[in-house]
Structures are given as C-alpha cells and as structure tokens.
A and B are shown apart, each in its own frame.
Chain A
C-alpha cells in the first residue's frame, strides 16, 4: 500500500491537522515507509482468528447513578484559551 499526495491531504483534513505544502512530501515519504513495514501483516492467513481488542477479557463495570464529583468548572476553565460566563468560546459556527 502506498499513499499519494491527494490521499495524504484527505487524511490530514480528516485528522484536522494542517499540512504546509513543504510538509506534505516528507510526511508522505515517511508514512509510505511505515506502511511498507505494516504490509508484512498481509502475508499471514488469519481466517477464523478472533480479533483481540484488549489484553483483559473484562466487561465494563456499572456503578450507582449517584453524584460522585464536585463541581470544579472554574478550575477546569481557568486553563482554557477563551471562556465567558462558564462557556468555552470558539469562532462562530452559525451566522
């Protein structure tokens, strides 16, 4: 598998990472090197093998539906780039 310029731009858009024109080429070369390494996986027949998503075969715990945390929004918002009246501010989305 090997990516081309258009694919890398598409992926960068999906990942919300702006790639400068100068970055695209080197990023593409290095990623294609990594994908060549990954390609070794395709030589293995894994028919019938159950995928393993996690080392421990455990299910999610449930807990009582009760308040367990105190309200610390001031501490959390103090480190935000921009807030107002307890809200996080971002550029206007709807005109």
Chain B
C-alpha cells in the first residue's frame, strides 16, 4: 500500500480491502519511524488525521466518496491550517496557530483527504536547499547527507520516502520543481492564478503559486485538479472553467513538438544531469515526439531579475510580521520602534533578513528605476521569449536544476552559488507559465535527476500528459530511495 498509486489506493478503499483509518495509520507509523532522520515534517497531526480518516470511511460507506476521499496527504507548512501550528519554517511563526484554513486546505478537506501533518520548508519559502528552516533541514532520502532541495523540501522528501502518497507545495522560483528533481518525484507548478493564494503565507505575490507533488504525473493530476479553481478571496485568482487534468493523460506523444532551448543545454550543467536528460529526450523521440531547437535569449537574465523582484515583494509582504497581532514578539524593548526591530531581528533567520534588506534597498528612493523597474522590463523580455518559442513547439524541455542534490552545508554560506542553482526554474515564474519536473533517466544508484517540461499558459493537461506517457514507458519514477531505511 505504501507504494501504491492514488488510483490503486482509491480502488483498495472502494473494494474495502483497507479502510482509510488503516491506510492513515500505515503512513503515520512510517512517519514516526523515518521522521527522526529525514525531518520532513514539522508537525504530525495523528489525532486529526485519524479522525478525518474515520469521517472519510463513513463518507465512503454512505456512497459519497470522490477520487481523493480517504487518501492521506501532507501540506507544506506555508498553508494555513485552522487550529494547527503554521510556522512557515520560521521562528517568527513558531507560536502561530492559524485561526483559519487556506483555500487549498479547505478544498482538499472537502474532497475528503486526510492531512497527516505539515512539512518542513525553507523559512518563508526563501531557499533552494531546506537549510534555511528554523526546524533544521529536511534530509534527502537518497543520501541523508545531502539536501532535499527547497523550498518545498519536506513535501518532496515525504513523497519520496513514502511518508505520504502526495503533498502540496508552493513554487515562487522553482520551489516545487527543484526539490521534486532532487528527491526523484514528480512536481507541477501550474499557471499563475489557477491555485488560490488565500491562506498561503506570501513571499513574492506576483510569483507565488501552489503546486502538487506526487510519485507520478497521474497522481499529480488528481491532486492538482482538486486544488485548482476560482477563489474570490485571492484578487489574482482567475475566473475560468476548471480543467479536468486527468483527461489529457492518455494523449499519445506522436506529433508532440518538444522545444530544446540552447541556453538550457550550455555549460554549467553537470554531466550526470546532461546524460539523464538526454536519455529522457531520446525516449520521447522513440515514443513519437519530435525535438526542435529553440532559443530563450534573455533566460540568463532571469536570475538577476528574480533576485530583485522577489526580495522587493518580500520586503513589502513580510512587513506584516511586527510582533503586534501574531507571531514572535521580543521579550524586552524600549519603545514601539525598538519592539518592531527586535521582534523582527529575533524572529527572522539570516537569509530572510538579507532578502528583506535587499528588497528594501531596491525599492528605496533613487534606486527604484535602476533596479526594480529594470527588472520588470527584463521580466517582459523573458515572457516574450517564451511566447515566441511556443510558436515553434508545444512544450519546452530541459533540466530542472544544473546539478543533483548537493551535500548539506556545501552552499549554505554562499547565497550567490545557491541562487545560481535556480537558473532553469525562475524564468517560468517570471512569465507565470506552468511547468513540471519528473524523474529523468539517472544512472542506477545515482542521485535523481529532474527533467523539466514547460508549457504555455493553461497547458497543464498537456504537460501532465507528456509526463504520464514517459512514465508509462519507463520506470524511472518508480525507483526507491534507500538512504533512510
């Protein structure tokens, strides 16, 4: 059962081979065994999970079960969960019990899912390695001395180590796709505006987007379908009919044009990544897809533009953490300004402080045009590159990250090196496009490699279908990590 797909789990529940309470207990026990090593969960809610599972069993008995009813899942700790610690990986919110549910959490509750707990993450989703968590880093189950990626590292670890069948994540610059790649699982970030940001603690609002992590594209399609939909409480939520993402899964690859941006295959990519990505592309060609060379000439500017825009938005968003209404307040201070400064100095970690300071600077008087406005202009050029590319191809493929998972501590003292690892993911967020990372053909025994597929706006079904077809023909996504056993 631990290795079953969502479809198989739903069939077993339907056939009464197992109850949701039994299934939930199985995963809770596995979390109990593995979490002391992997640190994937910040909070495990055993009582809440068992009571939700019991309600799901009753719902199934009443003949009212949907495709996700009774299925255990984990939420990234960026999503507010009523009555449960919602820390966002920060000391600032280490005392924050949310008074309400995020929209995504409400939707998945209504679908009958069973939340096992909240997963570890880089503080306020700022990081690519999970090392910025106040709760210590989650560890990669393929090699526990290595990072799981970030910021949704705990969610990727939970799915890879089968502590949960599926998990939610968020992706501002690659935070679903890169940990999915590092942990050998599948992760999709949908088009900006399709998943409500209500109750999802904000980092950079014009880039943040909820996403789904699962073992396969098929599982991601089921989870993402249940997370998507208009929400009036998110001012950027798009009013459009819901797509049934499961319907495109069986579309054959014949005729699919895969664009290969030459900028994504240049120097800087590790050999084992190149080999694995090439193996996946060869498989696509064998299955009837064609590849075409394309160019994204401004792609190299995505990192500098991102590291202006995201910190600028973060400096504004995180001004709400002031020790007045919720979160950490310093124990001693002289006056109001001192209370703000000390509460924020104590509550935020080093990387969060740096991004707030960088953002404050680029928005300050005299620098706005040179940095913030210039970054927004580059953002347009980057988005236009993609729309030109999609005149020649249906999806764009390349590596998700330039390397496999690196050792814990290897890059944590060098923010620039850490940022450069986001080279293939951030442009997608600047443009607001959907993209998926799926396991590519890494060598047996090696750390996983992610293949990234980028689609045009609202082409999630096509991405999931292309990923599912590869996963039907190969078993790369079924490989098991052995590092934590």
Q: Measuring CB to CB, which residues of chain A are less than 8 angstroms from any residue of chain B?
A: 3, 7-8, 11-20, 27, 30-31, 33-42, 44, 46, 49-56, 58, 60-61, 63, 72, 75-76, 78-82, 88, 90-91, 93
Contact = CB atoms under 8 A, between A and B. Distances in A.
Given A15-B344, A38-B371, A41-B305, 6 more contacts: A17-B357, A37-B419, A41-B304, A41-B374, A41-B375, A61-B235
Contacts of B342: 18
B315 A15 contact: yes
Contact of B336 (A15, A42, A93): A93
Contacts of A76: 99, 325-326
Interface stretch (B9-17, B21-29, B378-386): B378-386
Given A18-B342, A79-B99, A88-B325, A56 B236 contact: yes
Interface residues of B, number: 72
B193 A56 contact: yes
B34 interface: no
A49 B339 contact: no
Contact of A46 (B307, B374, B383): B374
Given A31-B357, A76-B99, A40 B301 contact: yes
A70 to B, nearest CB: 11
A91 B339 contact: yes
A19 B344 CA distance: 10
Contacts of B378: 41, 44, 46
A16, A41, A76 — which one has the most chain B CB atoms within 10 A of its CB? A16
A11 B236 contact: no
A53 B339 CA distance: 33
Contacts of A38: 304, 307-308, 362, 371
A12 B324 CA distance: 19
Interface stretch (B163-171, B255-263, B348-356): B348-356
A76 B96 CA distance: 11
Contacts of B383: 52, 55
A81 B323 contact: yes
Contacts of A18: 338, 341-342, 344-345
A15 B99 contact: no
B300, B322, B353 — which one has the most chain A CB atoms within 10 A of its CB? B353
B70 to A, nearest CB: 29
A92 to B, nearest CB: 8
Nearest to A60: B235
B265 interface: no
B344 A56 contact: no
Contacts of A79: 95-97, 99, 326
